[in-house]
Structure 1
Amino acid sequence: MLRNTKKEWLIAYILIAPFVAIYALIFVYPTIDMFFLSFQDAPLVGAGDFVGIENYERLPRDRRFGTAFWNTAYFVALTVIPGTFVALAISMAVTRLSGRTQALVLALFFLPYILPVSVVFRIWDWALNFQFGIAMHVLDAFGMDRIPVFKTTTWFMPAVAFVTIWWTCGFSVLLFLAGLRAIPQEIYEAAALDNTSRWRMFRHVTWPLLWPITGLVLTIQLILQLKIFDQVYLFSQGGRPNDNLVMVYYIFQRAFVNNQGGRAAAIAVVLFIMVIVISVINFQLTRLSERRK
């Protein structure tokens, strides 16, 4: 049968047109506008004066920008790789279960992921609050001094990182479970016949075959944690927010508190470029490691 190529292309364009229009409206246009705004001395809403790269030149001398940058890097180090290995360990433990027990345990680990951040904040503020937190009463029972977890710079980021891993690892667990179930059981049976230990089986069979999923989880976690804001903002209330700044929190302060749209846009552009560059590097390293295996 003869194919009407022009008609097929027309139908294809019509089908993708709504997606392209929405994508351009809610992502492409705001991104382009953000780039133009970053070269202006302007409020968040309204016209401003063109200042060239002045907003970018200020960043290296901005102490709070340096604090936000290093706090973000510290938070990424505390969450991305540890959270990935925690999810991997949980998924491997869940695969050893079966039936309703497996479904129940998996649901318990995935449940935090569907909770809104406000509920997560209430749960852990109730547990770790310096004045009335349950954990503080436990310390009192053992005669230990209470720890102001969310009020001190030393404990703040590790505590928020712990809460974030607890909150977000459920999705990573599902990804690892999908990868584990895709591994043919015949490979494990053949390894068992050779009396291969569990560690060698994991090192030479499971880990290499799971590497693409691991790379995907690392990339997703990198992007998510570089954009950390909600938990830091909520847990900083009543504490020392300027010491706990992360990149998105600093953008929020510049844009919505100080009404400095141009300077906020410059920081947002830097973060945008960081996310793209780090994601591409991580993806390429993942592909390179996969080829070597």
Structure 2
Amino acid sequence: MLTNRRKDAWIAAVLVAPFLAIYLLVFVYPTIQMVMTSFTDAPLIGDGAFVGTENYERLPSDPRFRTAAWNTAYFVALTVIPGTIVALAIALGVSRLAGRMQAAILALFFLPYILPVSVVYLIWDWVLNFQFGILMHLFDLLGIDRVPITKSRDWFMPAVAVVTIWWTSGFSILLFLAGLRSIPPEIYEAAELDNAGRWTTFRRITWPLLWPVTSLVFTISLISQLKIFDQVYLFSQGGRPNDNLVLVYYIFQRAFQQNQSGRAAAVAVVLFILVIVVSVLQFQLLRLAGGRK
């Protein structure tokens, strides 16, 4: 028995070792280096002098950091809950279809998710562009003045939020569909025998049983949107990038445009801690709320 246990332990160690090595090399080591760099005035390439917590102390008084933090929070508010609701509504509609029609409609909603961000940007630039965008021509037909959506401070974040929901909702729809298919049909049959309406069935059966999937979708979406960068960077070209700053964009500017790796690392550490804390807190709150259902 002792020999078997040792053999099993060696086999387990051999199987786990490649993943552990890659994890330490790709995630743990860079994270440690990032934290160490945040306490220096290092440039993008090379070492820097130790400055203690100076990089962190500068952040509250940095107006661009405050702008980036506010824009990130605003973007999360525009995308996480609305995106979850949109994905759930579409999944409920698709679940009522069957056969090839269901597969075709599901493919249409999932197709944007597999597109690279550059393609998504080009598609929506054809729609929103002030000079030749399809939406601008529609405004002309309706007698509405054209709006430079991607150049306007008020319209930029809502427009990028709509693009992001369109782009990323396909994966959430699949998760909701999987959750819907895991609900036993006998429960709905029993509710139908009790003359329960659609709203009552959704509120009393579908929604509580979908709560674990909803928590998962919400958590994944929250983590993704806190790290938003690609869409904001692309749509800001030729516009007002400093007004549209988000935290990752701010890190990019500090590190790659201003050659201030130490200050960029400090912001990255703050974002890293923020993602962990917010994700854990909201997941626990959702789990507690689900337990009360």
* Counterpart for residue 102 of structure 1: 102
Cα deviations by residue, 1:144-173 (Å, 9 ceiling, x for unpaired)? 100110001000000000000000000000
For structure 2, list consecutive stretches of 5 or more residues without a partner in the other structure. none
Q: SS state of the match for residue 240, structure 1?
A: coil
User: Larger deviation: 264-273 or 277-286?
Assistant: 277-286
* Counterpart for residue 183 of structure 1: 183
Q: SS state of the match for residue 47, structure 2?
A: coil
Matches for 1:113-262 after TM superposition, within 5 Å: 113-262=113-262
The Cα shift of 1:100 comes to 0.1
- Count matched residues: 293
The Cα shift of 1:246 comes to 0.1
Counterparts of 1:85 and 1:287 in 2: how far apart (Å)?
A: 18
The Cα shift of 1:194 comes to 0.6
Q: SS state of the match for residue 49, structure 1?
A: coil
* Counterpart for residue 70 of structure 1: 70
Counterparts of 1:198 and 1:3 in 2: how far apart (Å)?
A: 60
Counterparts of 2:170 and 2:52 in 1: how far apart (Å)?
A: 44
User: Larger deviation: 280-289 or 247-256?
Assistant: 280-289
The Cα shift of 1:3 comes to 6.0
Counterparts of 1:207 and 1:159 in 2: how far apart (Å)?
A: 29
* Counterpart for residue 93 of structure 2: 93
The Cα shift of 1:39 comes to 0.3
* Counterpart for residue 55 of structure 2: 55
* Counterpart for residue 80 of structure 1: 80
Q: SS state of the match for residue 15, structure 1?
A: helix
Which AA in structure 1 matches 2:31?
A: T
Counterparts of 1:110 and 1:287 in 2: how far apart (Å)?
A: 28
Counterparts of 1:2 and 1:226 in 2: how far apart (Å)?
A: 49
Counterparts of 2:127 and 2:40 in 1: how far apart (Å)?
A: 45
Counterparts of 1:28 and 1:95 in 2: how far apart (Å)?
A: 41
The Cα shift of 1:136 comes to 0.5
The Cα shift of 1:139 comes to 0.8
RMSD: 0.9
Q: SS state of the match for residue 172, structure 1?
A: helix
Counterparts of 2:281 and 2:146 in 1: how far apart (Å)?
A: 42
Counterparts of 1:113 and 1:5 in 2: how far apart (Å)?
A: 45
The Cα shift of 1:138 comes to 1.0
Counterparts of 1:226 and 1:144 in 2: how far apart (Å)?
A: 34
The Cα shift of 1:286 comes to 1.7
The Cα shift of 1:2 comes to 7.8
Counterparts of 1:137 and 1:3 in 2: how far apart (Å)?
A: 77
Counterparts of 1:29 and 1:172 in 2: how far apart (Å)?
A: 32
Residue 271 (structure 1) aligned with residue 267 (structure 2): no
* Counterpart for residue 280 of structure 1: 280
Q: SS state of the match for residue 4, structure 1?
A: helix
Counterparts of 1:146 and 1:53 in 2: how far apart (Å)?
A: 48
Counterparts of 1:2 and 1:272 in 2: how far apart (Å)?
A: 43
Which AA in structure 2 matches 1:50?
A: F
The Cα shift of 1:45 comes to 1.5
Q: SS state of the match for residue 52, structure 1?
A: coil
Counterparts of 1:27 and 1:191 in 2: how far apart (Å)?
A: 49
Matches for 1:25-44 after TM superposition, within 5 Å: 25-44=25-44
Counterparts of 2:21 and 2:3 in 1: how far apart (Å)?
A: 28
The Cα shift of 1:143 comes to 1.5
Counterparts of 1:157 and 1:180 in 2: how far apart (Å)?
A: 32
